[in-house]
A and B are shown apart, each in its own frame.
Chain A
Amino acid sequence: MNEEKKEAPKLSVKSVKEIKLPTGVLALDVSTDAKHAFASCIDGGVYAVDLISGTNDKLGEHGSYASGAALVAGSSLLVSAGYDGVLQWHDTQERKTVHKVSAHNFWSWQAAASADGKFIASVTGQYLCGGYKYEPLPEREPSVRVYETSSGKLMHSFTHVPPVQAVAFSANGKYLAAGNLMGEVRVWELSSGKQIATFTTPSFTGWGIIKGHYYTGGIYALHFMANDEELYLAGMGSTTDPAAGNGKQLWQRFQWREGRKLSETADGDSGRGLMETLAFHPSGNYFAMGGRLENGKWSLAFFDVKTGALLHSLDTKSRVTKAVFSADGLRLFTGEALGQGKPKDGKIPDFGRITIYNLA
């Protein structure tokens, strides 16, 4: 991570290609040669997409929404996750599903692979009424599961307060962080299996005053800095109207061991809407945050790591669910979902997208 640079990098972002998929993309990963993308979609399908031709093959299928897609470094494996609570291992070369694990009794909200490819983590949890103000009921199964990718063996089961919606490995693979609806982040040391830190930020969670007395929002994306000591969180700022989706487009940067907030989206840089993905450029100089625009100017934006300043932004006219930089840092790939259309001539219009941006 190069944080010694004094000036924010200049950034040019140009959309160069848009590939349609039948249904909304909920998770995305891209091969290191940037020739193939792997998308988990609302129809439950896990698709291998040829980024040159734009064609796709279905690798596998979940029993509900497919919500996770993570390539396993150093192998030809892709692990997908779904709202059926199942993790699936797919061989991307053989184009077949090779292993399945029933990880949760409820949705896998998100899955992540460690950078070294050894582990895959998945988070779950159903929000059930647990109090007079609809505080979440304590978990009925471990909210965090960690599996060895080579064997599919369960390595860790960690507890949290459901629903746990975001998970990330540290860059060096030593730590795992998971964040929930209530803005609580827990961090575990994987070698010992011990929880070593927890902190809570109230910024991402709204309690409905306007329409309904319950909680909405929470943390939807996590990312460790390369130094492993700092953690970025993303989601939507607190809102009192759960039906409006009009919280601030928000990221926050924390020193996670102390739970100390270092910085966050500047007021003038953000509009309103839920942010679902964080991706850091390989240079470490800037990052992308994407989601949905409710009110404002952008659904995808780039921020300077050093200063937190907004470098570039655009309105994709979609819900950006996942952003991935190419290994060489020259391109950004986004997985997106449009609104589902009404049937036309008996067919529902495609509403999934992968967009490719050239960066300079």
Chain B
Amino acid sequence: MFLQGLAAGATSLMSFGGLFSMPAFAAQAKREQKHCILLWLCGAPSQFETWDPKPRTAYGGPFQSISTKVPGVHISELMPKCASILDKLAIVRSMKTKQEEHFQAIDLLTRGNATRPPFVRPTLGSVLGQQLGQLNNPIPNFVLLDPCPEGNEFKEFKAGNWAGWLGAEYGPARFGGEFRPPDMDRVAGLSQSDHEAREELWKFFSKKFENDRKSAAAASHNAVFERVKGLMSCAHVFDLEKLPPKDKEHYGPGTFGLHTLMARNLVENGAPFVMVANGMPWDGHVFNHEIHQMLVPDLDRIVYQLVTDLEQRGLLEKTLVVVMGEFGRTPWLNTKRGRDHYPNAWSLALAGCGIRGGTVVGATDKLGVDVIEKPFNEQNLFATIFTALGLDPYAEYDVKDAANLPTFHRVENRAAPIREVLLNGGAA
């Protein structure tokens, strides 16, 4: 199950694995390694109860706002820990997108562009996994941590094509909860030397078969085997039980926090991209305030701990943290104590690599109904993410079947990044 999305074409990256037998090269690559952790708040949190509070207004809800470390900036009272490190976070309060249904919005905000059937654009994790992936790291280049097997539209999305035209080898390896790699231990009774001998024999015959038949299927199979072999060597970083108890206290006890801790560990071990989700719990059509009273303090603690830990480990400047859902929630309450879907004016947060902390960009009107200053869409966001990570946002995709594809770019229309949140405005 966890291999869902890994089942095609051999990756050329692996053929360069020998470079890493050179210690100097490997050390430099590790130093320059950049990472991204996406805290995916699926279902879509309310901007009013997080980053863009409107206390004591008609639509503001019951929660107040609090001051932050950045003078003049207030966020929800449910986020005191983030308020204390707001000088390390950048908030975008003027996201304005067009999809108001979950599946389409998840698709839009994970791929960064509207769909253009039949072509399937790779998701952010697939692109960053390809671009930032290390050649010698056994940890998958795109890890999805999501213990929730359900999730309505997100479940449907998860079953789909994440890697698009990059090829399935750039899809996510999924862990969390019941999604754990099976058969990770060497078979009982098999010695290490026998195990290695078997592997060598398998490698010889399978490579011979692949070469003789020029078989893409065999190549794909071999690639998957290599990935599994890699996973066997790092299974411990996917084991919640092996996480340090003190760290678990800080992040836990809920599953989202524990998986964010796992994401931190994965990044420490070289993972380029980790997406942490937990089903789609933020969909507050019913009990919006009752749900946010719990989920937002949980998120507050988790974001604070993650950013603080990354900084203490010297990883924050190399790790981009993105905190967002697929849209926001309506200003107006429905009769179910809830807020409904609202792509018209919503917020997200960024921190770390390439990001200028303490920045708040964009604004909504007094009631939070519309963006009144600097609207940004998914293309602006993706241009920001790529720029922050040092990638050319407008690079053309170089894919195997290019002859059959129109020209695609990482970000279309040369949409501008959100320069206000970028260090040096994003200048290289």
Stretch at the interface among A125-133, A166-174, A301-309, A327-335: A125-133
18 further A-B contacts with Cβ under 8 Å, apart from A128-B294, A132-B258, are A43-B58, A64-B63, A65-B62, A127-B290, A128-B297, A128-B298, A211-B148, A211-B152, A216-B290, A241-B152, A242-B281, A243-B283, A245-B286, A318-B335, A337-B333, A340-B59, A340-B333, A348-B332
Q: Residue-by-residue, is A210-231 near B (CB-CB < 8 Å gives 1, otherwise 0)?
A: 1111101000000000000000
Q: Say if the beta carbon of A249 comes within 8 Å of chain B.
A: no
By Cβ-Cβ distance, the 9 closest A-B pairs, closest first, are A212-B281, A245-B286, A340-B332, A243-B283, A129-B254, A319-B335, A83-B62, A127-B294, A339-B334
Closest chain B residue, CB of each to CB of A317: B335
**Which chain A residues border B254 with CB–CB below 8 Å?**
129, 131-132, 134
A10 within 8 A of B: no
B residues bordering A, Cβ < 8 Å?
A: 43, 56, 58-59, 62-64, 147-148, 150-152, 252-255, 257-258, 278-287, 290-291, 293-295, 297-298, 331-338, 367, 369
Residues of B within 8 A of A130 (CB): 253
Where the two chains meet, the residues of A that have a C-beta atom closer than 8 Å to any C-beta of B are: 23-24, 42-44, 63-65, 83, 107, 126-134, 163, 208-214, 216, 241-245, 274, 292, 294, 318-319, 337-343, 348
Q: Which residues of B contact A23 (CB under 8 A)?
A: 58
Residues in A whose Cβ lies below 8 Å from that of B43: 211-212, 243
Name A's interface SS.
Answer: loop
Known: A132-B255, A211-B281. A245 touches B293 (CB 8 A): no
The residues of B that contact A24 with a CB separation of less than 8 Å are 333
Contact of B150 among A42, A209, A244, A338 (CB under 8 A): A209
Give chain A nearest CB distance to B99 CB in angstroms. 18
Distance of A294 Cα from B334 Cα, bound (Å): 12
Chain B proximity of A235: nearest CB distance (Å): 12
Looking at the assembled complex, report how far the CB atom of B43 sits from the nearest CB atom of chain A, in whole angstroms.
Answer: 6
With A244-B286, A292-B335 already in contact, the answer to whether A213 and B58 are too (CB < 8 A) is no
- A selection of 19 A-B contacts at a CB cut-off of 8 Å is A23-B58, A126-B293, A127-B294, A128-B297, A131-B253, A134-B254, A134-B294, A163-B293, A211-B148, A213-B255, A214-B281, A214-B294, A216-B286, A243-B283, A243-B286, A245-B285, A337-B335, A339-B335, A342-B369
Q: How far does the alpha carbon of A241 sit from the alpha carbon of B254 in the complex, in Å?
A: 18
Chain A residue nearest in CB terms to B283: A243
Cα distance A342–B283 in the bound complex, in angstroms: 20
What is the CA–CA distance of A105 and B334 in the complex, to the nearest angstrom? 27
- A208 near B279 with CB under 8 A, answer yes
Contact of A132 among B148, B252, B285, B290 (CB under 8 A): B252
Find the A residue at minimum CB distance from B150: A210
Q: Are B280 and A212 in contact, CB atoms less than 8 angstroms apart?
A: yes
Q: Is the CB of B291 within 8 A of A341?
A: no
CB distance from A339 to the nearest CB of B (A): 5
The answer to whether B62 touches A107, judged by C-beta atoms less than 8 angstroms apart, is yes
Q: Are A348 and B58 in contact (CB under 8 A)?
A: yes
Q: Are A245 and B294 in contact (CB under 8 A)?
A: no
Q: CA–CA, A127 to B334, complex, Å?
A: 22
B336 touches A292 (CB 8 A): yes
Report yes or no: A343 in contact with B335, Cβ–Cβ below 8 A. Answer: no
Q: How far is the CB of A346 from chain B (nearest CB, A)?
A: 10
Interchain CA distance A213-B279 in the complex, whole Å: 8
CB distance from B339 to the nearest CB of A (A): 9
Verify A245–B281 contact, CB threshold 8 A: no
Say yes or no: B280 contacts A343, CB within 8 Å: no
- Closest-by-CB residue of A relative to B297 is A128
The distance in angstroms between the C-alpha atoms of A208 and B297, with both chains bound, is 19
The answer on a CB contact under 8 Å between A340 and B148 is no
- B281 lies within 8 A of A208 (CB): yes
In the complex, chain A residues whose CB is within 8 Å of the CB of B293: 126-128, 163
Residue in chain A with minimal CB distance to B281 = A212
Contacts of A134 in B (CB 8 A): 254-255, 294
Complex Cα–Cα for A343 and B331 (A) = 10
CA–CA, A134 and B334, complex, Å: 26
Partner among A65, A242, A340 whose Cβ is within 8 Å of the Cβ of B286: A242
Contacts of B290 in A (CB 8 A): 127, 163, 216
CA distance A211 to B149 in the complex (A): 9
B295–A214 touching, CB < 8 Å:
yes
A339 & B332 in contact (Cβ 8 Å cutoff): yes
Are A242 and B148 neighbours in the complex by a CB distance under 8 Å?
A: no
| A24 vs B62: C-alpha distance when bound (angstroms) | 13
CA distance A183 to B189 in the complex (A): 51
Q: Count chain A CB atoms within 10 A of each CB in B63, B279, B286, B336 and give the residue with the most.
A: B286
The residues of B that contact A337 with a CB separation of less than 8 Å are 333, 335
Q: How far is the CA of A98 from the CA of B63 in the complex (A)?
A: 25
With known contacts A211-B150, A339-B334, A129–B253 Cβ distance under 8 A: yes
Q: Do the beta carbons of A211 and B283 come within 8 Å of each other? A: yes
Minimum CB–CB distance from A135 to chain B (whole Å) comes to 9
**A242: B residues at CB distance < 8 A:** 281, 286-287, 291
- Considering only CB atoms, which chain A residue lies closest to B287 in the complex? A216
Across the interface, name the chain A residue whose C-beta is closest to B154: A211
- Nearest CB of A to B6, in Å: 26
Contact B64 A243 (CB under 8 A): no
In the bound complex, how far is the Cα of B63 from the Cα of A105, in angstroms? 12
Whole-angstrom distance between the Cβ of A45 and the nearest chain B Cβ = 12
Distance, CA A212 to CA B281, complexed state (A): 4
Complex: chain B residue closest to A64, CB-CB:
B62
CB distance from A272 to the nearest CB of B (A): 11
Smallest beta-carbon distance A81→chain B, Å: 13
CB–CB A245/B336 < 8 A:
yes
- How far apart are B396's CB and chain A's nearest CB, in angstroms? 38
Q: Say how far A327's CB is from chain B's closest CB, in angstroms.
A: 30
Give the chain A neighbours of B279 by CB distance below 8 A.
Answer: 208, 210-213
A212 to B254, CA, bound (A): 12
Residues on B with C-beta less than 8 A from A292 are 335-336
Closest to B284 in A: A243
Contacts of B298 in A (CB 8 A): 128-129
B336 nearest CB neighbor, chain A only: A245
A208 to chain B, nearest CB (A): 7
Give the chain A neighbours of B291 by CB distance below 8 A: 212, 214, 216, 242
A126 contacts across to B, CB distance below 8 A: 293-294, 297
- Report the separation of the CA atoms of residues A38 and B334 in the bound assembly, to the nearest whole angstrom: 23
Q: A63, A128, A339: which contacts B64 (Cβ < 8 A)?
A: A63
* A residues near B295, Cβ cutoff 8 Å: 212, 214
Per the bound structure, the CA–CA distance linking A349 and B59 in Å amounts to 12
Q: What is the CB-to-nearest-CB distance from A209 to chain B, in angstroms, rounded to a whole number?
A: 6
CA distance A343 to B287 in the complex (A): 23
Given the complex of chains A and B, what is the CA–CA distance between A68 and B148 in angstroms? 37
| Residue of chain B at shortest CB distance from A82 | B62
A319 contact set on B, CB distance < 8 A: 335-337
A356–B297 Cα distance when bound, in Å, is 41
Q: Is the CB of B281 within 8 A of A213?
A: yes
CA distance A218 to B258 in the complex (A): 26
Minimum distance in angstroms from B64 CB to a CB of chain A: 7
Chain A residue at minimum C-beta to C-beta distance from B301: A129
Tell me the complex Cα distance, A107–B63, Å. 10
* A42 / chain B contacts, CB cutoff of 8 Å: 333
Q: Please, which residues of chain B bring their CB within 8 A of the CB of A274?
A: 286, 336-337
